[in-house]
Structure 1
Amino acid sequence: MKNGKVGMADGLLVLSMALCLFSYMYMETSCGKLLFHMALAAGIAGLADWYAVRSLFHKPLGIGFHTDIIKNSRVKMMAAARNMLMEQIFTVPALYRLCKLHPPLMVCRQWIQENQELCTAWLARCIQVVLEHMDLEASIHGKGDVDLIGFAGPAVTGTLEDIKGDPFWDAVTREARRLYHLPVMENMLNRLFEEAVAYYGEGSTGRKMAGKLLLSKKEELLKRGEERFLQSQIIASLVEQAWSVWLQSLTGEKRQQLNYRLNQLFMKWVQNAVREETERDDAAQKIAAALIDWILALSGNRERMLERSFSYWLIRKIPDIHQLMDRTVMQWMERYSGQEISDFMEQSLYRDLQIIRVNGTLIGAVLGFLFELAYMAAGGI
């Protein structure tokens, strides 16, 4: 099932079929009949569960009628995921409450302070991209500049996509688990899972089992190693979209003024970091450390004024941010084909699907055993 691997459920199915054939030779005896019917029921139940599970991700026995469900349901899954995320969970009022209860700049500053070394290393990679487009010799002498606004977006998103397995995402995952336990975020995520479970609960017993399985995986989803890849993809895409929207809102004059001020500040860091030829190799690391120190040095009135200004701007932009998140979610999901989604889900749920099949086989064996006992009792044996 997973890369051609024979799982526990497959072995149990083969064993039940072998017992069925073996016990058929001893049908004259009571024990032979009991073993035969028990193994036969287990085999039939196991085959039924094998077909049901297999049809989610493949075409078992070449049958194309209502099989390969995950792959063929890509559009429906995308629409359902978008509805749950953007219309039920991350609504505009919910984003208002989140920004009010947990001001973004304060949260970011605290996280940077707790993960200063990792943030410095990541920021150094971004700055290195900018330095590669600069004339360092001219910058050391206070001449020349660089389009920091133009380079910053691609530098950040490119670096985010390049560090999928980096410890930086371990820190992001830890922060995600911490944020999950905040009341406002916990309520959002609980509603997401409740909506999903309610959807699955409207159907058959199998769908109800799937809903319960989804609910039981709520905590585990924040701990899985694959989530680092998903987080990096989503966040990088969101940053790229946000940067594009922000650049469009800047007029030519505003952009020139902001770029001039950023260049003044950045050139000071460059001049302090690169005083001699031998210091150029680690210039990005020094500038990143200086930038982190500058962020953490903000305190008192300056910090409160910056926080109030940013919060005021952010609250006015929340409807636009909601639309941006909506577009980003759809664009991120459209990157993956139905087959890629199917393969990812099959690999992620491999063990759980094996257990479901094992349970089905064992239930079939128990029912076959009870049926034969009842038949024997009714026959007076």
Structure 2
Amino acid sequence: MNYRNKANLTLLGVSIGFLFSIAIGHFFGKNFYTEMLMTIMEAALVGGAADWFAITAIYSKPLGVAYHTEIVPKNREKIIESISNFVENDLLSASSLESRIDKIKLCDRVVELSKNKKAYIEGRILQISNYIVSSVGEKNLEGFIFALREKYIYRLNTVKLIKDTSGKIYESKSNEILDFVIDIGIDFLNSEKGTQYIYDIIYKIKQEKTSGFFSRIGLAMMGKTENDVVDIDSLTAIFVEKAIEKLRELKEEDNSYRIDLHNAIKAYIDNIDKYEDELEKIKNYIVRDSNIKVLIQKLFSVTTVDICREEKESTTAALYLFEILKKVFYNVLENKKVLCSIETAVKKLVIKLIDSKHYIIGKMVRDTLNEFDNNKLNAFIDNKVGDDLQWIRINGSVVGSFIGFIIFLIVYFIYNPYIVPFIRRIF
């Protein structure tokens, strides 16, 4: 049972109670109890009826009375405008929104989210990568590469580009480049693959030197085999050790071999023009139709990858893009300065948007409420505060009956026995 029905039953109950008190007074005459009952029920009826009239007047015309009734329908525009202004200028004012945005610690939240939701974030990055790649599509990417080839690559002076670029890079980073190359050589010699490579070379040389007819006769005369002449394992170990030692010496800037290597690289870069034909052939081979189509097919081939212990399907191109975006994302997270700059820029952008579009909040509220006709607006308000308003009706009857009881006591025990005789004596 809703509160409206409860209020109606309460008013019906006090109405019946009032009629019952009249009947009691008629059959049993006037006495303390019958008068008290009638006074209480009369006050309860008056209170309930008055509150019923007042609450009903908010929405419609109670008993057809038009004076100061239908408060909501008659003031519909004022109500809508007041609600819109309240939401726009008070509840969600531009200054309050800007203040709340300014208090948000975006950097801390993003960093915390990245730690607690790593799998989710990387999954979303992969999803974005797949979306970008699928939006581009195989045909569009192929067409773009063909257009790029016709417009730029075919017209590109490969030799000049390589010469200028490599020359500038090597000139500014020559020591770092040489050290990097030397370290690669050392790492290779220290690896199992490098050792096996040296072993195979020495074995091949040994085979070539000991497999001849006269070599075999000579070894036979000495009573030895080809394995007795050369211990390949020992020779490989010695060669690797000496090679690494020499490579480490090359890392010294005043090493003569390093200087010669440096000059040889510079000379090679300076004289790269003589390889123009070969470089052009290589360029044209790389960008020929069949190679581009094979590349596109590989980029759009679907594969299964493990993202934070969760298997996901993705194209190869999306995986490349995913790795780039992931690296950028985590690099930004580790750089507090960049992260704070992004936060400041985002906040400024949002605040600027709020300043320019804040009126939309009031307009949205206004437009939404304007869609309500009188009945819908009444129902909307009644849905929000209707229960409290119906309780007012119930309280009217209850409070009225209590006040009626107090008034009866005052009239019966004070007014009639003391005040009325006093007034009569005066007049």
Instruction: Tell me the TM-score normalised to structure 2 length.
Output: 0.44
Q: Could you say which structure has the larger radius of gyration?
A: 2
Instruction: Tell me the TM-score normalised to structure 1 length.
Output: 0.48
